[in-house]
Chain A
Amino acid sequence: EPVTLKLSFFASDTEVNYARAIKPWIDAVNADPSGAVKIEAFPNGALGKALPAQPQLLLDGVADIAFVNPSLGPGRFPDDQVFELPGLLQNLKEGVKLYEELLKANLLRGYSDYYVVGAFMNPQYMVFARRPIKSLADLKGMKVRINGAVIGQTVKELGMVPVLMPPNEVVEAMGRGTIDATTTVPAAIVDFGIDRVTSHDYLLPLGAGPLAVLMNRKKFESLPKPAQDVIAKYSIRWIDDTYIRDLGQYNDELIAKFKADPKRTVVAPSPADLASLQPVYQKVTAEWVAKGPGNAELLSKARELLTRIRAN
Chain B
Amino acid sequence: MTATGIGIGGIVALFVLVAMHIPLAFAMIVVGVVAFALQTNWASALTFLATEPSQVLGSTDLAAVPLFLMMGAFVNVSGFARDLYAAAAALLGHRRGGLSYATIGGSAAFGAICGSSPATVATFTQVALPEMLKRGYSPGFSGATIAAGGALKALIPPSLSMILYCVVARTYIFDVFIAAVIPALITITANLIAIAVMVRLDPAIAPVSERVSRQDKHAAVRRAAPAALLIAIIFAGLYSGVFTVNEAASVAAVVSFAFALMRRTITPTNLVSSLRETALIAGMIYFVLIGSSIFTYFISLAKIPEQLIALLAHVNLPPIGIIVLMLAAYLVLGAVFDELAAMVVTLPFALPIIVHFGYDPVWWAIINVIIVELGLVIPPIGLVILIINAMRPDIPLRALYRNIVAFVAADIVVLALLTLFPPLALWLPALLRG
Interface residues in chain A, defined as those with a beta carbon under 8 Å from any beta carbon in chain B: 6, 42, 44, 46-50, 53, 56-57, 60-62, 168-169, 171-173, 175-178, 196-197
Contacts and interface: CB of A to CB of B under 8 A. Distances in A.
Interface in B162-182: 170, 172-174
A172 B51 contact: no
B434 interface: yes
Pairs of residues from A and B, 6 with the lowest C-beta to C-beta distance, nearest first: A176-B241, A46-B300, A61-B44, A177-B241, A60-B47, A62-B44
Contacts of B55: 49-50, 53
B245 interface: yes
B346 interface: no
B124 interface: no
B280 interface: no
A48 B51 contact: yes
B433 A178 contact: no
Nearest to A169: B244
A42 B244 contact: no
28 contacts: A6-B40, A42-B300, A46-B296, A46-B301, A48-B51, A49-B170, A57-B51, A60-B43, A60-B47, A60-B51, A61-B43, A62-B40, A62-B44, A62-B47, A172-B172, A172-B173, A172-B174, A172-B244, A173-B244, A175-B174, A175-B432, A176-B240, A176-B241, A176-B242, A176-B244, A177-B241, A196-B434, A197-B433
B243 interface: yes
Interface string B84-107: 000000000000000000000000
B41 interface: yes
B51 to A, nearest CB: 6
Contact of A61 (B41, B170, B244, B432): B41
Most A CB contacts (10 A, CB to CB) among B170, B241, B245 go to B241
Contacts of B41: 61
Given A56-B51, A62-B36, A178-B244, 9 more contacts: A6-B40, A44-B300, A46-B301, A49-B170, A61-B44, A171-B172, A176-B174, A178-B243, A196-B434
Nearest to A62: B44
B297 interface: yes
Max count, chain A CB within 10 A of own CB: residue among B41, B44, B242, B433: B44
A208 B44 CA distance: 33
B433 A175 contact: yes
A57 B173 CA distance: 28
Nearest to A171: B172
Contacts of A172: 172-174, 244-245
A175 B301 CA distance: 36
Nearest to A179: B244
Nearest to A174: B241
A188 to B, nearest CB: 16
Nearest to A43: B300
A56 to B, nearest CB: 7
